Structure 1
Amino acid sequence: MSKEKNKSKFKDNLIARGEEASKVRKIVTVIILAIVLILVIGGISGYMYIKSALQPLDSSSDEEIQVEIPLGSSTSTIANILEENGIIKNGFIFRFYIKLNNESDFQAGEYTFSPSMSIDEITGNLKTGKVMNDPLYKVTIPEGVTIDQIAEIYAEDLPITKEEFLEVVNDKEYIKELIDRFPILSDAILDDNIIAPLEGYLFAATYDFFEEKPNIKSIVETMLNQTQKVVTPYYDQIENEDMSIHEVITFASLVEEEARNEKQRKNIAGVFYNRLEEGMLLQTDPTVAYAVGEHLETTLDKHTEVDSPYNTYQIVGLPIGPISNFSESSLDAVMSPSDVDFLYFLHDSDGNIHYAETNEEHNKNREKYLK
């Protein structure tokens, strides 16, 4: 009996040890899987963070930040300066990136950077010593001007001629290249009836130039980049409105020409939407002036009868393309118009706008304010 008991006890010990070993294996397996999972999640998170850190801090920003890089600054010092000034997201990753890409020979000096700049643009400026603090030329392009007027402004302020500028912006082969590079541009601007392909797309702003004779293509692309930055945040809303970017920019140019402040723009955008919904002609005088090709102090019947895809006295809907550049305020008005019941409006001699819901009310306003 003693031997039987010993055998039974030995067997029980083996079973217990087997169960204990099985539990240990399960625990080890769970721990290993947990570690692997942590490593995978950590790797993905690390990759996403590094990817984010290498992208512009704020691609839509047009803020300009003055930065001084002292003489003898190390890459660590430069990285810390850029991070502290809100130019890059992470100084350590910036240092790792420039070391990995063997970037060096950064120059001391005063720089103007922007959170919208890529790592390559930042390192390129630092490496080439492109100090942007003292532009040779500073040119302001107003809101609501045509591409012809833009050419005149640049010809006055830069060592280029109006003819040189217009030749570049009307070069169809160059325009095709730009369409491939800028999402805001589409084949709609290549229509043979379009007067100027880039009309409306060269954004109103103040531009700094650092070369003795700025390259015209560089000027054009800088302005397109600015338009791209302004329009990009509205992409989803434009898609929901079932309009193309070209139509929205065209619409914004009409609002820009008819109004001078935010409230007016939102109201007029509301009026235009109402007329479009009713199937009415927009009948906005600035489109007539653009079709005629000259400034009109008074829009006469002979002007409104001009046969042109820009003349909203003759065509239903929006004109074939923009009639000027636009402000972000006008773009915002097109995207968020006032909810009004008006179908008509007119300007008096003091710059005020008077609205009407019916043609009868509109005619009374004409008699009252247009004497």
Structure 2
Amino acid sequence: MRKIARLIMGLILLIVIAVGGYGYYLYDSTLKPVDSQDETVMNYKIEPGTTTKRVNQQLAELGLIKHPKMADLIVRLNDWSHIQAGEYALSPSLTLEEMYQKFEAGDVTEPDMVKVTIPEGYDLEYIAAVMSPLVGLTAEDLLMEWKNPSYVRTLIDEYWFLTEDVLQEGIKYPLEGYIYPITYAFVDDIYTVDELTHELLNLTERKLNPLRDLFEKSSLSIHQVMALASVVEGETQRTEEMPTVAGVFFNRINSGMYLQSDMTVLYALGDHSVRVTEAMTRVDSPYNTYVTQGIPIGPVSSPTLDAIEAVLQPEEHKYLYFIADMFNCVDGKTHFFETYEEHMAFYRANLLPSYEAGASVCK
């Protein structure tokens, strides 16, 4: 009996190994190009409302991927589901990831498509400036439409991530921080403000939906998460530093300290200077975290998922101070400190001349 049991266990182990090995083979071969040497261009069109499952079936039918079911799993695991309708130029030499990067960026082939890019960390005034031609309005008029409380309330009723917090007294722009920074592809036509707004917020919703459970578990409100994420976004462009920066801000909040983010000062002033002076930090504004304790009243820019996730899952540490080596005097990274004395010693020794000059004068 024991020999039979050992034989059965051995067979089970061999099956597990075989299945695991085959699964890895499928995973690896689905990620790789079908033929890295074949650059034959194929036009592939995604119709509005097409699911990623259907996309993968069609890509397999075209011979652009090998295993559509494994592709479904890979797309879900990597959150590559934010695709845009349009016609794309693909080839067997592209990887699955490269094709989905095109789909998400709206890298279409149609000459009648207009692509508009919202860079990470840019504010609603910039967004209105680049989007206003699509609705035939000036940037100022588009902003006025987006500030209309009656209209914003209809959006609050429709989107789970928009709350009454965006309409509290002192908010500069209710939709600030809620239009996701990415490249959008639009039909070369005039939209209504409502059509454009829904195009933008629908993408934000698709981006935020996978994080909904984390939002619900957070000690912060949705609006606070978005506000703090916008500050994190402005303080570092290095995604690997964002959880550490978020951790500093949580430590400051828990210690009763001011966040003292220069990004909030510049937003309060409507200024895009590189250097913030001491006089500038005294501006009286609910956005200015030098004079207002805690998280600013609202977002100061459009944060990325990396910044949002950093706030939802901040790194735990004891740092209370940080400073970015923005002029690449040491290593170009952000440096973190537990004490003010350590922070200032590093600043004086390495960064002071460049910060005062507003340009690199590193030795």
**TM-score over 0.5 (shorter chain):** yes
With 340-349 and 209-218 compared, the bigger mean Cα shift is at 209-218
> 1:156: how far off?
6.5
Structure 2 CA distance for partners of 1:81 and 1:313, relative to 1, 3 Å: closer
Question: Which residue of the other structure, out of 343, 350, 357, is the alignment partner of 2:338?
Answer: 357
Report what 2:225 is aligned to: 248
Look up the SS of the partner of 1:332 in the other structure. helix
Report what 1:84 is aligned to: 57
Question: Which residue of the other structure, out of 313, 328, 333, is the alignment partner of 2:310?
Answer: 333
CA deviation string 1:278-332 (max 9, x = no partner): 1111001110111111123321222111111111011111000000001111111
Tell me the distance in 2 between the aligned counterparts of 1:219 and 1:81. Answer: 26
Look up the SS of the partner of 1:137 in the other structure. strand
Tell me the distance in 1 between the aligned counterparts of 2:167 and 2:300. Answer: 15
Structure 2 CA distance for partners of 1:82 and 1:273, relative to 1, 3 Å: closer
- For the 8 Å contact 1:204–1:325, the answer to whether it is kept is yes
Structure 2 CA distance for partners of 1:342 and 1:111, relative to 1, 3 Å: closer
Tell me the distance in 1 between the aligned counterparts of 2:54 and 2:241. Answer: 44
Does residue 170 (structure 1) correspond to residue 147 (structure 2)? The answer is yes
Does residue 366 (structure 1) correspond to residue 347 (structure 2)? The answer is yes
Bigger radius of gyration among the two: 1
- For the 8 Å contact 1:137–1:157, the answer to whether it is kept is no
Unaligned runs of 5+ in 2: 1-42, 48-52, 61-84, 89-107, 354-363
> 1:213: how far off?
1.5
- For the 8 Å contact 2:134–2:191, the answer to whether it is kept is no
- For the 8 Å contact 2:134–2:190, the answer to whether it is kept is no
- For the 8 Å contact 1:143–1:204, the answer to whether it is kept is yes
Unaligned runs of 5+ in 1: 1-64, 70-79, 88-109, 114-131
1:74-223 equivalences in 2 (<5 Å): 84-85=57-58, 134=110, 135-155=112-132, 159-223=136-200
Tell me the distance in 1 between the aligned counterparts of 2:315 and 2:280. Answer: 30
> 1:339: how far off?
2.5
Structure 2 CA distance for partners of 1:68 and 1:160, relative to 1, 3 Å: same
Matched residue type, 1:227? T
Report what 1:224 is aligned to: 201
> 1:151: how far off?
1.2
CA deviation string 1:106-129 (max 9, x = no partner): xxxx9569xxxxxxxxxxxxxxxx
Tell me the distance in 2 between the aligned counterparts of 1:291 and 1:220. Answer: 25
- For the 8 Å contact 1:168–1:217, the answer to whether it is kept is no
- For the 8 Å contact 2:236–2:324, the answer to whether it is kept is no
- For the 8 Å contact 1:139–1:157, the answer to whether it is kept is no
CA deviation string 1:35-90 (max 9, x = no partner): xxxxxxxxxxxxxxxxxxxxxxxxxxxxxx94489xxxxxxxxxx97783389xxx
Look up the SS of the partner of 1:189 in the other structure. helix
Question: Which residue of the other structure, out of 276, 288, 302, is the alignment partner of 1:299?
Answer: 276
Tell me the distance in 2 between the aligned counterparts of 1:68 and 1:325. Answer: 27
Tell me the distance in 2 between the aligned counterparts of 1:262 and 1:297. Answer: 20
- For the 8 Å contact 1:184–1:228, the answer to whether it is kept is yes
- What's the TM-score once normalised by structure 2's chain length? 0.65
> 1:211: how far off?
4.2
Structure 2 CA distance for partners of 1:302 and 1:112, relative to 1, 3 Å: same
Tell me the distance in 2 between the aligned counterparts of 1:365 and 1:111. Answer: 51
Report what 1:117 is aligned to: none
- For the 8 Å contact 1:255–1:330, the answer to whether it is kept is yes
Percent identity of paired positions between Structure 1 and Structure 2 = 35
Matched residue type, 1:365? F
Look up the SS of the partner of 1:301 in the other structure. coil
Report what 1:343 is aligned to: 320
Report what 1:16 is aligned to: none
- What's the TM-score once normalised by structure 1's chain length? 0.64
